[in-house]
Amino acid sequence: MFHTDVCDLLGIEYPIILGGMVWIGKADLAAAVSEAGGLGLLGAGGMTIEEIHSECSLVKEKTSKPFGVNLPMIRPDISEMIDASIESGASVVVTSSGNPKSFTRVIKERGCAVMHVVPSVSYALKCVEAGVDIIIAEGIEAGGHDGFDEITTMALIPQVVDAVDVPVIAAGGIADGRGFVAALSLGAKGVQLGTRFVATYESAAHPRFKDAILQLPDNGTTITGRTTIGPTRSMKNTLTQKIQEAERQGASAQELFDLIGEGRSAMASIEGDIEEGSAYCGQIGGMIRELKSVSDVFDEILAQARDTITQIRHFSEL
């Protein structure tokens, strides 16, 4: 019922993709998502070249199914990261934070599919020119770094779908079967989930961070960096308050980077400092109320999606 072009391109059973989350998307989580029938992605943004090799090896020990690696193109060693990922068995490379034209041809020539994350139609068109296989269109609801135009997922997906002739993956604000069906109805060929998979047993996130997601209210996230370093969605905490106050006082990009650097990551560090640390989280976190296994998340998404489609068919018959 949910087999799309993306499944054929990536060799997966369901068009459900793990967001490439830095510090959190490690081997256990990526392998579990792939084993459940989706596409697991290692969030390699904070990994060394050696760690990319070792994490890919661990994924292959846990599953024989396809997996990929998410690589931010702003890394100065991006070429080495690509080499390490492909040499270590990744069949998909997801690029972000840069021009996909720089490396798409090289990656495809080495036998890997290429996906690129975009926040707008204009960037999606550049992906098509670059030869990207699949576009991940991410709305402002998503946790972490977002687009300056702050286009919502509901508005972004149909516009990107209408503008390009390659499959589009919807990302941002999706965590259950209803969101999955909504994305497909907008023309997407699949979905990418981040925050929902953070709150799983297999996630490398700190237990305090996972618990904070389960307690999050609907308005529990905020955006910083709008006018300087780029919009970034995180849980509201002491650190985001400090950043926003510094922004109001006209802090430079470097001053903001310094301020953020003083705080520990709340997501996967030993401390798990939820108040003073960075805690990237999507708006949909306010809907997540239970820690689950990845396989249970897949089962619930697919079951709810089927129920949702049944309800829609019932309405159409009234």
Write the pLDDT tens digit of every residue in 26-47: 999 999 999 999 999 999 998 9
- Do 293 and 276 lie in one domain? The reply is no
At residue 105, what are phi and psi to the nearest 5 degrees?
Answer: -60, -45
262 pLDDT above the threshold of 70: no
269 pLDDT above the threshold of 70: no
CA trace torsion 56, 124, 160, 110 (10° rounding): -40
Residue 250 is part of which domain span? 217-280
Neighbours of 13 (CB within 10 A): 16
Tens-place pLDDT, residues 76-109: 999 999 999 999 999 999 998 888 888 999 999 9
48 assigned to some structural domain: yes
SS3 236: coil
- Do 84 and 154 lie in one domain? The reply is yes
- Do 27 and 120 lie in one domain? The reply is yes
211 assigned to some structural domain: no
Tens-place pLDDT, residues 126-140: 999 999 999 999 999
CATH code at position 178: 3.20.20.70
212 assigned to some structural domain: no
Tens-place pLDDT, residues 159-201: 999 999 999 999 999 999 999 999 999 999 999 999 999 999 9
Q: Which residue would you say has higher pLDDT here, 315 or 87?
A: 87
SS3 51: helix
- Do 272 and 182 lie in one domain? The reply is no
- Do 251 and 187 lie in one domain? The reply is no
Distance CA 76, CA 134 (A): 24
- Do 44 and 156 lie in one domain? The reply is yes
Count up the domains in the chain and report the number: 2
- Do 198 and 80 lie in one domain? The reply is yes
210 assigned to some structural domain: no
- Do 105 and 231 lie in one domain? The reply is no
311 pLDDT above the threshold of 80: yes
pLDDT averaged over the chain? 94
What pTM, to 2 d.p., does this model score?
A: 0.94
What is the band of 259 on the pLDDT scale with cuts at 50, 70, 90? confident
- Do 240 and 130 lie in one domain? The reply is no
- Do 121 and 89 lie in one domain? The reply is yes
130 assigned to some structural domain: yes
